Amino acid sequence: MTTPETPRSRDPLHGITLERMVTELADYFGWAELGERIPVRCFNLDPSVSSSLKFLRKTPWAREKVEGLYLFMLRDQKRAARSQDD
């Protein structure tokens, strides 16, 4: 007996938590550069994942910027991986 497969989402952010995005962005760019790219207080003044999450959950426009930067980071990482394979 086979079960129908659940269609996979084409959304690259599907299943990725906001906490994971902020953590990976901070690791990739560092808090200082993250604060330059998205100039909000939670990234510039005493930055932490928990303070960032509190702000981003209440502020849709800032969350959209974080999601966009996260997608940019993923594309950048794929490009770098491809260039190393060549």
User: 81 near 36, Cβ under 8 Å?
Assistant: no
Q: 5 in helix, strand or coil?
A: coil
- Phi first, then psi, for residue 18 (nearest 5°) are -60, -40
In this predicted model, what pLDDT tens digit does every residue of 20-72 receive, in sequence order? 999 999 999 999 999 999 999 999 999 999 999 999 999 999 999 999 999 99
pLDDT, residue 68, reads 97
Q: What is the pTM of this model?
A: 0.84
pLDDT, residue 84, reads 82
Question: Is the confidence at residue 5, as pLDDT, over 70?
Answer: no
Query: What one-character DSSP code corresponds to residue 33?
Result: H
Domains of the chain and any CATH numbers: 18-85 (1.10.720.30)
pLDDT, residue 85, reads 74
